[in-house]
Structure 1
Amino acid sequence: MLCGLGAEATHRVIDQDLPLVLERFPLAKVVIISDVESPLQIGRSLELGAKGFIGMSSTFEIVLAAIRLVWAGGIFIPASSIGGTNMASAAPQEAKLQLVGLTPRQIEIVKCLRRGERNMDIAKKFGLKESTVSVHIRNIMEKLKVKSRMEIIYLTKGMFED
């Protein structure tokens, strides 16, 4: 666990300390703890290899759940960084997915996954080959740093009207 207090310290932890730790211990599951929960800093920490980002405003139960998730091989991101406080507005939520590099097509595919649609159904809907849908899903998983369709669904919980 790496801790940063304030924007400057958090930036330093993410851009300097995190790469050093992962260089020395490549299999480490690093979690950043900070009082700053900027979506950009959270995204940057995940991009550089962190497996989680915990805000200091989190309850003990959330911290414990986050650590367990990371320990089990998942990625933890605070709901506030992806869901915001107003879940009714889809456009800002989609913008947050674009922050991690999802294309508009990939965002549409995430919506389909959330509805439980199969690759074959998604392919027909968008006039794609099933293999192209599989590539999109693999790229979505890579960008969100998750390992399964279920993790995509969990990570994007509350972002769309289902």
Structure 2
Amino acid sequence: MSTDQLRVVVADDQALVRTGFRLILESEGIEVVAEADDGDQAVAAVRRTRPDVVLMDIRMPVLDGLEATRRIVADRAQEPPRVIMLTTFDLDQYVYAAMAAGASGFLLKDVTPEHLTAAVRLVRSGDALLAPAITRRLVERFARPDAPTAPHRELAALTPRELEVMTLLARGLSNAELAARFGLSEATVKTHVARILGKLGLRDRAQVVVAAYETGLVSVGSGPGPA
């Protein structure tokens, strides 16, 4: 789907926020197909309009953005949209849980117009909105170090190289840094990442990072890989 066909649902309990985001997106040729002022409305709007991307406020009445995200991503009646969480606080404690529930990243509500439209297009293309290093900060700040790990049933399907890539990605290395580490091209690294996504049934790099911590492949506080 081309960028001028992008379809977005904006879910926020503040009318001014919804209106502002609508004006910004539509000025860039991105269609806002529905607005919602609570989580229930957001879930219903997604089912009705089938957007590409949802801008989802974390704190909303009736049903919060976290639970709304879980319901949207879990709905197998259609291909779920990408969800970007909206928050007023950097590294909000709920963002990690939202990413684990299926969100592709987060934005602060005071995001610039340019960053907003770029973010919507980025997640629609299948990328995660968060850099791995930022995702790692989220995990290390809010994941419980003593939480029992839940080995992913497909983790054994990864090759030794794919496990290495996943581990270093979770520790914050970029594609360029991974390529330099292994003496590979960035295109080859992207292929490894794509295979990891496919084998684990994950949607983007952000969820690879979350899965690495939740399965115990990487532990909280382990830090980035050696240079």
Structure 2-normalised TM-score?
0.38
Structure 1-normalised TM-score?
0.50
- Relative to its length, the structure with more helix (as a share) is 1
- Relative to its length, the structure with more strand (as a share) is 2
